[in-house]
Amino acid sequence: MKIKNNFSELIKYKSFVKEQIRHLIFIRYRRTLFGYLWTLLNPLLIMSVTTFVFSSIYKADIKEFALYMFPGILAFNFFRDSIMQSATTYLDNENLILKIYVPRVLFPFSRIVFVTLDNCLMFIALSIIILIIGGSKISVSLIFLPLSYLLLFLFCLGISLIISVFTVFFRDLPHFLSISLQILFFMSPVFLRPTILPSKLNLLFKFNPLSYYIDLFRSPIMQSNFPTLQTILICLILSISSLIFGS
């Protein structure tokens, strides 16, 4: 029932959401030389440097490694940016919240929509690079990607609703989250393949929810296949559970 009410409020206050997103875009890119290009340059540089290092040190195939890392960066950056953007949303909008009634769900929701737009631009830029180096094929399985984004969006929204509330009471939480997300990056199959790790370390990936969401992106992009039904069901359960606890 709470989830249904939140959805109704999102529809009712859609104009407020649009205004919030416009404000976030303005704040982020004002007085910057490259503007939106930073959204594209940052992940592109990270992927390029990491690909070069691993291909040089570990003699990995550049095309294959870049293609493997591409969906991992997409999914992890979406999760990381959603959490960090939403963590302080109530604190940043404290004056507005105290003055007028605004459904609380609108603030984290607006920030994750903003992250989604950024991530889609990143997807387009990196896709062009992957196609140029000849590491990917265009297949029908790519039509699954909108659902991949939707499931990850819902998962991030539920967690963001929880974290944004805790940040009001624990102001140090964003700093702790920043460190935790760095650790989580290396515990996620972004550039490391679970198959090359010892079985005990491999368990870290299996119990990491992000592993399944990364697979939602990796299967269509790298393997030209739809994700397995098991992966889809696990992500669906995680997303619904996240929303229930967050609401």
Q: What one-character-per-residue DSSP string does 99-159 give?
A: HS---TTHHHHHHHHHHHHHHHHHHHHHHHHHHHHT-----GGGGGHHHHHHHHHHHHHHH
Tell how far CA 197 is from the center of its chain.
25
Whether pTM > 0.75 for this model: the answer is yes
Residue-wise pLDDT for 33-85, tens only, equals: 555 666 667 767 776 777 677 666 666 666 777 788 888 989 999 999 999 99
Residue 124's pLDDT is what? 83
Higher pLDDT, 37 or 101: 101
Question: Amino acid identity, residue 185?
Answer: F
User: Are 49 and 69 in contact, with CB atoms under 8 Å apart?
Assistant: no
pLDDT at 66: 77
Q: What is the pLDDT of residue 214?
A: 95
Cβ-contact 64, 133 below 8 angstroms: no
Higher pLDDT: 58 or 188? It is 188
Do residues 71 and 222 make contact, with C-beta atoms less than 8 angstroms apart? Answer: yes
User: pLDDT value at position 29?
Assistant: 67
Given CA atoms 64, 58, 213, 166 in this order, what sign does their dihedral have?
Answer: negative
Tell me how far apart the alpha carbons of residues 243 and 236 are, in angstroms, rounded to a whole number: 11
pLDDT exceeds 70 at position 4: no
| pLDDT at 116 (0 to 100) | 93
CA dihedral 86, 92, 97, 99 (to 10 degrees): -170
Distance CA 119, CA 116 (A): 5
Mean pLDDT estimate for the chain = 83
**In the chain, pLDDT over 90 holds for what percent of residues?**
35
The predicted-structure confidence for 189-212, as pLDDT tens digits, reads as follows 888 777 666 666 677 778 899 999
Q: Give the residue among 17, 4, 230 at the shortest CA–CA distance from 111.
A: 17
Quote the CA–CA distance of 139 and 128 in Å, as a whole number. 15
